[in-house]
Amino acid sequence: MAERFSVGTVRRRRRTSRAASGPHRFPGVGSRLGGGVSPYLYLLPAFVIYGAFFLLPLCRIVEYSFLKWDGYSEKKWVGLANYQKLAHDPLFWRAFRHNIAWMVAGITVPTIVGLALAILLVRQPMHGRTYYRAVFFLPQVLASVVVAIVWQWIYSPSSGALDAILRGVGLGQFQEAWLGSTTWALPAIFVAWAWTAYGLSMVIFIAALQSVDEEYFEAAKIDGASRLQQLKHVLLPFVRRPMTVVILVNAIGALQVFDLVFITTNGGPANATLVLSVYVYQNVFQILNVGYGSANAVALALAVVLASVIFLRLRGMAERSA
């Protein structure tokens, strides 16, 4: 009786054949890089740039967060006062909640849409596949200012395409003042963001799917696997690793969102779209409370780091279980 099909079976067969084929392809590479200062010299230029434009500003922001400073007068050390204020600031927490909601949606929507499009473009026979890939990826390369303005037009209650379409298909009762509604403004801007974010997810998934050997699917078919079973047992195991990358990138992007919100609503109406980066901007550049704005920025940076660590841990756990 033939061995029942599974990805694990095929992988075991491949490992066996690789082991039989001979020793490591690149012997000695590790030992050559093992000593001396050369590797560090190669890293130095990148580290200098990283230090000057990331680490140093980061340290300064942390320093400013302990100050009361308007950006030009004398600096005054206030210790943790800015962080204490932040803990009791309802606007900060409101912005934080918006960021968390955005991150949760930002992890799921572009990931699912990107994966669905990737499956469609890789697994379905169709004409003009390259053309569709380019078209679907296009929003990713548009400047965020352009995206913001285009979606502002789309959502306009007086001349916007969305309400016109709703009226046109007889769904006029669902028309909304999208960006002027305290309920709909945040989801509306999120849709605009997701429109730009799914392209990268799609490309990463396409790369992963193209590396899947067709023999897995053929073997699954021979074993009588349905399309859904093929998706679950063949395709998804191969995109697990790239999926953690996609989730991480989208989560960080979601926490950092600024330009779309700033251009379309600037946090309004009634702070319904206020996110942390816009709140940092308001504090630092409009109120000129550089110290408190920096404390907000540090909190935002910590949230990004925390999200990254969580996702990297999850990825590690997923890999170990695989």
Partner 1 sequence: MTDGHEPSSHEATETAAYGRRAFLGRTGKLIAGAALAGSFADVASASGFLKGSEAATGKLDVWYLTGSPQETKYVTHLTSMYGGHHALKTSVTPYDYDPMNRALKLALSSHRGPDVAYANPSPDDEFVYQKNKWIIDLNPLVKKYGWDKRLSPSVMNYWGTLCCGGNTPRTGIPFDLTAVDWFYNPKIFAKYGLKAPTTFPQLESLLATLKSKGVTPIGVGGLHVGNPGSVSYVFQQVVHQTVSRSLLQRLQLRDPTASWDNPGIVQAATIVQNWAKKGYLSQNVLALSGSDADAAFLNGDSAMIINGTWKNQQYLAGTEFSPRFFPTPRIDTSRPWVMGGYSPNNVWMINSHARSQKTAASYLDYMLGEQVATTLWNNSDIPAYRFKKTPKPRSQLQADVYAAMGKTQTGFFLANVGGVFTTQYNPTLDKLWSLSISPQELAKEFQSNYKQTLSG
Stretch that binds partner 1, among 120-128, 231-239, 251-259, 266-274 (CB under 8 A): 266-274
Report the site for partner 1 in 38-97 (rule: CB under 8 A): 68, 71-73
Report the site for partner 1 in 106-135 (rule: CB under 8 A): none
Which one of 84, 165, 285, 316 is in contact with partner 1 (CB under 8 A)?
285
Stretch that binds partner 1, among 28-36, 225-233, 261-269, 304-312 (CB under 8 A): 261-269
The pair of structure tokens assigned to 196 is 């730009």
Q: How far is the CB of 278 from partner 1 (least distance, A)?
A: 10
Using rule CB under 8 A, residue 282 touches partner 1:
yes
Measured CA to CA, the distance from residue 243 to residue 315 in angstroms comes to 9
Measured CA to CA, the distance from residue 96 to residue 230 in angstroms comes to 40
Using rule CB under 8 A, residue 158 touches partner 1:
yes
Using rule CB under 8 A, residue 187 touches partner 1:
no
Q: How far is the CB of 302 from partner 1 (least distance, A)?
A: 24
Amino acid letter at 73?
S
Which one of 29, 56, 287, 306 is in contact with partner 1 (CB under 8 A)?
287
**Residue by residue, what is the 3-state secondary structure of 257-274?**
CCHHHHHHCCCCCCCCCC
Stretch that binds partner 1, among 129-137, 172-180, 239-247, 294-302 (CB under 8 A): 172-180
Query: Between 139 and 157, whose beta carbon lies closer to partner 1?
Result: 157
User: CB-based burial of residue 32 (10 Å sphere; 0-12 exposed, 13-18 middle, 19+ buried)?
Assistant: exposed
Amino acid letter at 129?
R
Query: Between 70 and 319, whose beta carbon lies closer to partner 1?
Result: 70
- Percent helix, strand, coil in the chain, to 5, is 75, 0, 25
- The DSSP secondary structure of 37-61, one letter per residue, reads SHHHHHHHHHHHHHIIIIIHHHHHH
105 Cβ contact partners less than 8 Å away, ≥ 6 residues apart: 190, 194, 254
Stretch that binds partner 1, among 59-67, 105-113, 200-208, 286-294 (CB under 8 A): 286-294
Amino acid letter at 222?
I
DSSP classification of residue 67: E
Binding site for partner 1 (CB under 8 A): 68, 71-73, 152, 155-158, 177-182, 263-271, 282, 285-289
